Homo-oligomer: A and B are copies of this chain.
């Protein structure tokens, strides 16, 4: 076991051997194996944004097998997807890469109401498909947050009891939050803290901006002069907010953009002490070769 993996596992000493084993699998798999960094391929956009908006740019992505192949070829640490996509390849690619079953999902056909995803999978299904972890999205700030926090709590306890990890997508949204506030540094830091307090093993947030949303928070940032001017400063603050670095925090890639912008962002995450990235559209919407090349450049930055 690498010293990085060893150090990270030591943060989870209260967990069962089953959970530790799956955390080990994630940390040691792929091109970043043993570096203490993670690069995960998530493909839930077919459900969240629709098949056309997700896969028309690279139609091979309509096929569920494509994403298994992409994750494998690029040497990702894991592949995350909803029930349908995972079970359309779980047998064919059994054991070749750690899988994360995304247990809840939203769609873009319905609108209005406070945001809350539907539960679309279960711990039992994750076990059946041979997964290493479950994934769950919470929307802190939403009027339905309690429903999500409580569902997550139950799922996490059940997952832990069978040795599965829990990966939490913590995306502030709804309620009185402004659109800009969803990625504000105070809000993203808070979202990371909430996920950690709820017992998440791995926390996924969006890269934060320098905007501060809440007045009560602004006073604190000013009084204690917390540096949030650069991306790496903000990343460092978010990692600190997730138990001072004792929980794995990774960052999403967001909308499709050009390679230079992506790599610059990755460097910022790396410099701030982030544990890695989870990158969907910027990967599977490119042709396979381009995507693999890009993901390897990202890995190289993290491994440097």
Contact = CB atoms under 8 A, between A and B. Distances in A.
A231 B144 CA distance: 40
Contacts of A65: 246
Give the most central of A53, A57, A112, A122: most B CB within 10 Å. Answer: A53
A87 B47 CA distance: 34
Interface in A194-227: 194, 196-200, 214, 216-217, 220-221, 223-224, 226
A241 B194 CA distance: 36
Contact of A14 (B59, B87, B146, B247): B87
Given A62-B244, A119-B153, A153-B120, A107 B56 contact: no
Contacts of A111: 175-176
B243 A63 contact: yes
A14 B88 contact: yes
Contacts of A28: none
Interface in A87-129: 87-92, 105, 107-113, 116-122, 124-125, 129
Interface in A16-75: 46-47, 49-53, 56-57, 59, 62-65
B51 A193 contact: yes
Interface string A160-192: 000000000000101111000000001101111
B14 A129 contact: yes
A125 to B, nearest CB: 6
B56 A226 contact: yes
B189 A109 contact: no
A232 interface: no
Given A92-B13, A150-B118, A226-B52, A112 B143 contact: yes
A64 B14 CA distance: 13
A135 interface: no
A31 to B, nearest CB: 27
A49, A59, A65, A196 interface centre (most CB from chain B within 10 Å): A196
A125 B112 CA distance: 36
B119 A83 contact: no
Nearest to A48: B197
Nearest to A84: B197
Interface of A: 11, 13-15, 46-47, 49-53, 56-57, 59, 62-65, 82-85, 87-92, 105, 107-113, 116-122, 124-125, 129, 140-143, 145-146, 149-150, 153, 157, 172, 174-177, 186-187, 189-194, 196-200, 214, 216-217, 220-221, 223-224, 226, 240-241, 243-244, 246-247
